[in-house]
Amino acid sequence: MSVPEIVSTEPATGAELWRGKVGDVDATVDRARRAWPEWAAKPLATRIELVRRFANEVRKDQDRFAELIARETGKPLWEARTEVESVVAKVDISVAAYAERTGQKKLDNALQGTAAVRHKPHGVMVVLGPYNFPAHLPNGHIVPALIAGNVVIFKPSEKTPAVGEFLLGCFHRAGISAAVVQLLVGGPAEGQALVAHRDVDGVLFTGSAQAGIAINRKLATNPGKIVALEMGGNNPIVVTDTPKVSDAAALIAQSAFTSAGQRCTAARRLIVVDSMYDAIVSEVKNLADRLIYDQPFADPAPFMGPVIDNAAADQLGESFLYLLSNGGRAIKHMQRPNADLPFVSPAIIDVTAMADRPDVELFGPLLQVVRVADLEQGIAEANNTRFGLAASLIGGSPQDYNRFWASVRAGIVNWNRPTNGASSKAPFGGLGLSGNHRPAAFYAADYCAYPVASSEMDQPRASMGVGIREDRRRKPR
Catalytic residue list: 230, 264
- Per-residue H/E/C for the chain: CCCCEEEEECCCCCCEEEEEECCCHHHHHHHHHHHHHHHHHCCHHHHHHHHHHHHHHHHHCHHHHHHHHHHHHCCCHHHHHHHHHHHHHHHHHHHHHHHHHCCCEEEECHHHCEEEEEEEECCEEEEECCCCCCCHHHHHHHHHHHHHCCEEEEECCCCCHHHHHHHHHHHHHCCCCCCCEEECCCCHHHHHHHHHCCCCCEEEEECCHHHHHHHHHHCCCCCCCEEEEECCCCEEEEECCCCCHHHHHHHHHHHHHHHHHCCCCCEEEEEEEHHHHHHHHHHHHHHHHHCCECCCCCCCCCCECCCCCHHHHHHHHHHHHHHHHCCCEEEECCCCCCCCCCCCCCEEEECCCCCCCCCCCCCCCEEEEEEECCHHHHHHHHCCCCCCCEEEEECCCHHHHHHHHHHCCCCEEEECCCCCCCCCCCEECCCHHHECCCCEECCHHHHHEEEEEEEECCCCCCCCCCCCCCCCCCCCC
**CA nearest 83: which of 69, 64, 97?**
69
Short-list 320, 357, 402, 324, CA closest to 234? 357
At 436, phi and psi to the nearest 5? -120, 40
Bridge-based pairing of strands 427-428 and 440-441 is antiparallel
CA distance linking residue 116 with residue 105, whole number of Å? 6
Neighbours of 77 (CB within 10 A): 19
Please say whether the beta carbons of 437 and 428 come within 8 A: no
Question: How many CB atoms sit inside 10 A of residue 345's CB?
Answer: 18
Strands 329-332 and 347-350: antiparallel
* Distance, C-alpha 349 to centroid of its chain: 27
CA angle, 349 then 280 then 327, to 5°: 25
